Amino acid sequence: MADLKDFQSSVAIVVSSCDAFFDAWRPFARFFEKFWNDCPLEVYLLTNRFSILSPRFKAIQLGEDHGWSSNLLVALDRIPHSHVLYFQEDYFLTAPVVRQQLAEDFAQVVSSGADSLCFRARSGSDISAAQVSERISVVPLESDARTRCQVTLWKRSSLQSILRAGETAWNFEARGSARTQEMQILSYLRRDNTPIPYLMSAISRGLWMRDAMTLCREHGVELSSSFRPIFSPHAWQRRLLRALGRWRLKGALRKQADRSIEL
């Protein structure tokens, strides 16, 4: 029977981020410790110039921010593991990770040679007849959901081969599926039985989502809105809030400079 410890040398967790989202790191870490404190895998957090103090997370400092895909390509070159479990800094865990189920899924991907497994099902229209287990299916070649920036286990070399420097995460989701036609891309069939329950996403276009605020209050996790405003249902207010947030962020980055962030 597979155990997560069996994958310590082959699977690493990569938390995609940059210094502009440093305010999400601490709540991310709090939820990670709350719901996966027995995680045996190495966890890498991508930063630019900021350093972190943490017994759990290891920073990969990338220097100047060159954008999502360029940063990720550099980081993947520094990771020795054959597979990476992709997260983003605003994907807050919401319930305990189901270790045994996750280990079985890892074993399925690694032993079959599949290129990726997305742990968040999309829709019924993307479900293929080619099921590989009771909870996992092949994503059809014609689907536009073969490259989604959800929590996904990737073969590191496969992810590297389809990333393009200069692309945003949205570019990758929109264009990347066409690059995977020779790959076996897997996905969960349903959303109610994932081994990694998480909020997607705590931040939307620079604003804290109200679901994230509620989640943090429920679990006693501090979430600072000192410079990042809270999402508004009104489009005109969101535009103003984002402009305000960008202005405040510059000051927050200057204030934080040369200080380690304790997670």
The domains located in the chain, with CATH, are 4-203 (3.90.550.10)
pLDDT number for residue 103: 98
Residues 159 and 67: beta-carbon distance below 8 Å: no
- Dihedrals φ, ψ of 202, to 5°? -75, -25
Q: Apex CA 207: angle with CA 68 and CA 71, to 5°?
A: 10
pLDDT number for residue 1: 85
* Residue 236, CB-side half-sphere exposure with 13 Å CA sphere: 0
* Local confidence band at 259 (pLDDT 50, 70, 90 cut-offs): confident
| 13-30: average pLDDT | 97
Q: Which two tokens stand for residue 99?
A: 């270790």
**SS3 for 107?**
helix
Residues 83 and 158: beta-carbon distance below 8 Å: no
- Distance, CA of 35 to CA of 32 (rounded, Å): 5
Cα-Cα end-to-end distance for the chain: 33
| 120-148: average pLDDT | 82
* Local confidence band at 126 (pLDDT 50, 70, 90 cut-offs): low
The pLDDT tens digits of the residues spanning 75-123 come to 999 999 999 999 999 999 999 999 999 999 999 999 999 999 999 987 6
What value does the mean pLDDT of the chain take? Answer: 94
